[in-house]
Amino acid sequence: MTDAVQTPHVGTKFTPRVFSGIQPSGGLTLGNYLGALKRFAQKQDEGIETIYCIVDMHAITAALLDPVKLRQQTRELAAGFIASGIDPKRSILFNQSQVSAHAELAWIFNCIARMGWMNRMTQWKDKAGKHAEAASLGLFAYPALMAADILLYHATQVPVGEDQKQHVELTRDIAAKFNHDYGVDFFPITEPVIEGVATRVMSLRDGTKKMSKSDPSDQSRINLTDDADAISAKIRKAKTDPEPLPDTAEGLADRPDARNLVNIYAALADLTVEQVIADFAGKQFGVFKPALADLAVEKLRPISTEMQRLMQDPAEIDRILGEGADRADAIAQPILRKTLDIVGMIRSRRG
Ligand code: AQP
């Protein structure tokens, strides 16, 4: 056994499979939609096998949640997935805690990952901040559980926003160290898929900070459940600078608030930043913001309406999640069993 990590390579024996997850740690934001959900639906429509997980075990790592709220947010997130185009018949959609193999594999990975690797994670540093001593062990071990989520399905691709890139790289390190230490080629070296103009949607109050569902300021984000008036008001009040929009995309380089709004417009309209700039060059925000608000309302209204409809029937959402969990478990169990076998653990129980 050594600590060395082999040069990663993508194993050729792995069939393409997409896995990604979202925490039910609050309501969905425009950042989650553009950076994750919209792209999850595109992956599904490309015909690759897609597995999407509501990571409720991750959701209690930063702070324990009111149990009623956690259940409600889990169902709301499931509704958000479906309303964004995830078809639970074509994709597998489930909540993490229903497939106990996630926790079992995470334990093995806790023993593979090194403290130094975890200490370097920027999300750990950001979320634990100066209070690392008081942070939960679960928050520190978060990336090992995320590695288990991905590798339990031998996923080859993980579509994520920019903020999760480091965690996917750690997943690769864990897979490579496991393969190396046990002399196997068992886990794939998964690729993060970070594509498009909206891989990092920023706060409407501060263009240098990520839009986040747990930001204390509701004005910093657009929620998928916001109505048209709330969306328009938030965009109208979004922070900008006094300059008009530039003539070229390069002109946005040192203008994080302006760049953020242009990126959001481009992602919602399926345009490039250059195309948006061509349409609005030299225009004031008094012109651009109403256009952005109209576009956001037009694109988000069908999603929030469908979410509200789905939320009327929580039993149906639970049924969909249960069915998804059964399908996920059927893929996960043989991979977990083989992992434990490689590690040297005996599984001789019948049934
Ligand atoms: N602002 C964002 N721009 C682009 N993508 C984003 N994602 C999140 N925020 C943005 C992507 O959404 C997926 C799910 O994220 P998550 O809920 O698992 O955790 P997160 O990245 O920590 O998202 P939040 O909203 O900031 O949650 P909290 O506030 O609970 O920490 C990921 O693919 C993420 O990249």
Whether residues 44 and 99 fall in one domain: yes
Mean pLDDT of 225-252: 96
Catalytic residue status for 38: no
Q: Which domain holds residue 46?
A: 17-199+313-343
Mean pLDDT of 58-72: 97
What's residue 337's pLDDT? Answer: 96
How many domains are there within the chain?
2
Pick from 2-6, 59-63, 101-105, 142-146: least confident:
2-6
Beta bridge partners, 50, equal 18
Question: What is the pLDDT of the chain when averaged over all its residues?
Answer: 94
What's residue 351's pLDDT? Answer: 67
pLDDT at 5 over 80: no
| Pocket-forming residues, ligand 1, beta carbon under 6 Å | 22-23, 25-26, 29, 31-32, 35-36, 160-161, 163-164, 198-201, 210-214
- Is residue 348 domain-resident? no
Identified catalytic residue from 213, 234, 289, 299: 213
- Is residue 322 domain-resident? yes
Q: In what order do the strands lie in the sheet with 17-22?
A: 92-95, 49-54, 17-22, 157-159, 191-193
Q: Where are the beta strands (DSSP E) in the chain?
A: 17-22, 49-54, 92-95, 157-159, 191-193
Residue 199 and residue 26: Cα distance in Å, rounded?
Answer: 20
Q: What are phi and psi of 302, to 5 degrees?
A: -60, -30
- Is residue 2 domain-resident? no
pLDDT digits (tens, 9 = 90+) for 268-289: 999 999 999 999 999 999 999 9
Contacts of 305 (CB under 8 A, 6+ apart): none
Amino acid code (one letter) for 122 = T
What's residue 1's pLDDT? Answer: 44
What's residue 196's pLDDT? Answer: 86
> Binning pLDDT at 50, 70 and 90, where does residue 11 land?
very low
CATH number at residue 83: 3.40.50.620
Closest residue CA from atom 15 of ligand 1: 22
Residue 110 and residue 320: Cα distance in Å, rounded?
Answer: 31
CATH number at residue 243: 1.10.240.10
What's residue 287's pLDDT? Answer: 97
**Distance, CA 31 to ligand 1 centroid (Å)?**
7
Amino acid code (one letter) for 36 = A
Whether residues 88 and 138 fall in one domain: yes
Residue 310 and residue 297: Cα distance in Å, rounded?
Answer: 20
Q: What are phi and psi of 223, to 5 degrees?
A: -90, 145
Whether residues 33 and 85 fall in one domain: yes
- Is residue 103 domain-resident? yes
196 φ/ψ sector (left φ>0, alpha ψ -120 to 50, else beta): left
**Distance, CA 201 to ligand 1 centroid (Å)?**
9
- Is residue 52 domain-resident? yes
Catalytic residue status for 127: yes
Closest residue CA from atom 34 of ligand 1: 161
Candidates 19, 23, 218: which one to mutate for ligand 1, based on the most atoms within 8 Å of Cβ? 23
Q: Please give the model's pTM, rounded to 2 decimal places.
A: 0.93
16 neighbors 48 (Cβ within 8 angstroms): yes
Whether residues 278 and 326 fall in one domain: no
Where is pLDDT greater, at 198 or 188? 188
Whether residues 164 and 271 fall in one domain: no
pLDDT digits (tens, 9 = 90+) for 291-349: 999 999 999 999 999 999 999 999 999 999 999 999 999 999 999 999 999 999 998 88
Closest residue CA from atom 2 of ligand 1: 31
Candidates 30, 32, 125, 171: which one to mutate for ligand 1, based on the most atoms within 8 Å of Cβ? 32
Whether residues 137 and 244 fall in one domain: no
